Structure 1
Amino acid sequence: MIDRRAMLVGSLAALASGAAAQTPPPVARPGRPLVFAEPDETIDLWDPGPPEMAAAALVETVRERSTDPAYNDRIVLGISQPRMAVFRPARPNGAAVLIMPGGGYSWVVVDKEGYEMARLLAAQGITAFVLFYRLPGEGWALAGPNVALADAQRAMRLIRHRTGRYGLDRSKVCAIGFSAGGHVCADLLTRFATQVYPPDDAIDALSARPDAAAPLYPVISMSAPHAHAGSRRNLLGDNASPALERAHSPHLNVPADAPPCFLLHAEDDASVPVANTLLLHAALRARGIPAEMHLFPDGGHGFGLRLARGKSVEHWPGLFLAWGRYRGLWP
């Protein structure tokens, strides 16, 4: 394992030459056109890199799953430089949302639960940050199962650090996550104050607590019978102890100062049982945390925006935006 300080030596030459570009966002494969424009910019969470290097060198890989020319559906894995893709509205209203796409901790979805949501928010005046977080099964021994949470905490702090640049209000920074990204979101809203990486600079003195959070069709429980097997295996390994399962089941770790939440699930979800959302809702209520929950009879899993069309869950974005207005997050 190589400490991040060892990376400084290799970075000095680039800094001396004036190279300050951030790591670009994942791109479509050669020959595959982009249906929509890429994000305005990216922000690396750490410079020159995260607090540790992976045990083996990672090659960031982007795969396009869509064969329909009407949309892109990319996934990315092998992330060694965690970063945010920024979607800036024409007229920012001061609100920010950190988006954590899903992927079962096997990869991070780019378009379906990332960029598509970011474009919707930007159209509402909300500055959107799509988080490409590191995956726990790719050799991050120091952080282990906390590696995605470490990236989410750092991302929240970095957004608050840059509020002046983006015209944001530090008290209006929300988090939203889908599926396994919903687990990252729920982990963040329950363990925002848990130190999971060594403080690096003044940015890490800022709060990582989201002012509101929306885990959508989230992975929550890490124990049978409700755990999503793939996410549990990728996060905790095959032989996780009950104590480790408990430590990474957000509904068992809700603090008294958790933020208000918006919860959403389709009851016919065959991948992540709706019981996950019910468990989190009950835990939030037991702590007196405001939580608005919406359950729909159909929608399946991973519907995001595009795949919700024509189903009972289709109008969830309007409910989410109305909730944000009610909570005073945006006009």
Structure 2
Amino acid sequence: MNFNAVAQDAVIPLWPNSVPNQKVSDEQEIDRMENIRWVRNVQNPVIEVYLPSKAINTKRAVLLFPGGGYQGLAYNWEGVDFAKTFNAKGVAGIVVKYRLPISKSISEKQYEVPLQDAQRAIRIVRSKAKEWEIDPEKIGIMGFSAGGHLASSLGVHYDVEVYPYQDEADKFSARPNSMALIYPVISMQSATTHGGSRESLLGKNPSEELISRFSSEKQVNMSTPPTFLLHAMDNEAVPVENSTLFFEALRKNKIPTTSHIYPTGGHGFALALDHPLLKNWVVMYLDWLNTF
């Protein structure tokens, strides 16, 4: 089935040779349309690149990390749909099909696998900036739900070595110039986290060291990128405290931050085109992005 009315400009594998932390498995990637398009059991992580027309190109780019509880990826809903929306505004949209830590093909340290793919993805984009007519200092990231956790992890752990050197792309920085976290899982602390995302990433009985390491609100420092936060107070899946705790950590470290907390919207609203309060949030985000 052709899921995309507009074809992507490029599909690039993240790893040129062997994929780190991956062993031979009989597991097959699943990509099917249910209520939305879900991708599961990712075996060959890639980036799908959607570039704007030259006439309206702002030379900005945003890497998109779909959510799905670290068990799947809501691939169109929180990925391709946004890439196309951004293209219409002159922004390159790059969807990251990242590996999921619950995969049977993961050989060790399953909690590092999504971050490995995230770091590698932004380095590849920076290495291709000239070819794709992107300003390498205007590369942002956006993550949703568990993808928001991955995006925040990249924002606070961009300089942590989690995989061995691959090629010339790894000479580029993995630091995003900005990040947008949309109804994100931020904390792995039991009182705040989304239990399914935590168990998928860290396992059933994680150590306190791992919990702290992957609680992004505890890892913020003065080099953390400027951040855009969006959450709804009635989100019963991922408590709004994930965003408010992160906001407070950003404020303490004097990181330029915009936070939008809405009374309604629940979880997983994506573009929210039918919601009376949230329907214009992408416009607000793009206005904010243009300031960096």
Unaligned stretches of 5+ residues in structure 1 = 1-27, 67-72
Q: Which one of 143, 167, 176 corresponds to residue 142 of structure 2? A: 176
Q: Does 1:87 align with 2:53?
A: no
Match of 1:25 in 2: none
Q: After superposition, where does 1:36-115 map in structure 2 within 5 Å?
A: 36-54=5-23, 56-66=25-35, 73-91=36-54, 92-115=57-80
CA distance in 2, matches of 1:145, 1:314: 34
Q: Is the 8 A contact 1:298 1:311 kept in 2?
A: no
1:145 maps to a residue whose letter is Y
Task: Give secondary structure in 1 for the equivalent of 2:278.
Answer: helix
- Higher Cα radius of gyration: 1
1:283 maps to a residue whose letter is A
Q: Is the 8 A contact 1:99 1:129 kept in 2?
A: yes
Q: Does 1:197 align with 2:163?
A: yes
Q: Aligned-pair distance for 1:48?
A: 3.1
C-alpha RMSD over aligned residues? 1.4
Q: Is the 8 A contact 1:54 1:138 kept in 2?
A: no
CA distance in 2, matches of 1:35, 1:45: 21
Q: Is the 8 A contact 1:299 1:308 kept in 2?
A: no
2:40 maps to a residue whose letter is L
Identity %: 37
| TM-score normalised by length of structure 2 | 0.95
CA distance in 2, matches of 1:142, 1:296: 39
CA, structure 1 residues 175+76, in 2 after alignment: closer, same or farther (shift >3 Å)? same
Q: Does 1:226 align with 2:192?
A: yes
1:162 maps to a residue whose letter is K
Task: Give secondary structure in 1 for the equivalent of 2:280.
Answer: helix
Unaligned stretches of 5+ residues in structure 2 = none
Match of 2:280 in 1: 315
Q: Aligned-pair distance for 1:319?
A: 0.9
Q: Aligned-pair distance for 1:35?
A: 6.6
Task: Give secondary structure in 2 for the equivalent of 1:256.
Answer: coil
CA distance in 2, matches of 1:158, 1:57: 28
Task: Give secondary structure in 1 for the equivalent of 2:102.
Answer: helix
Q: Aligned-pair distance for 1:94?
A: 1.0
Task: Give secondary structure in 2 for the equivalent of 1:263.
Answer: strand
CA distance in 1, matches of 2:209, 2:276: 39
Task: Give secondary structure in 2 for the equivalent of 1:136.
Answer: coil
Task: Give secondary structure in 1 for the equivalent of 2:108.
Answer: coil
Q: Is the 8 A contact 2:16 2:166 kept in 1?
A: no
Runs of at least 4 residues of structure 1 off by over 6 A?
none
Q: Is the 8 A contact 2:22 2:107 kept in 1?
A: no
Q: Does 1:117 align with 2:82?
A: yes
| TM-score normalised by length of structure 1 | 0.84
CA, structure 1 residues 295+121, in 2 after alignment: closer, same or farther (shift >3 Å)? same
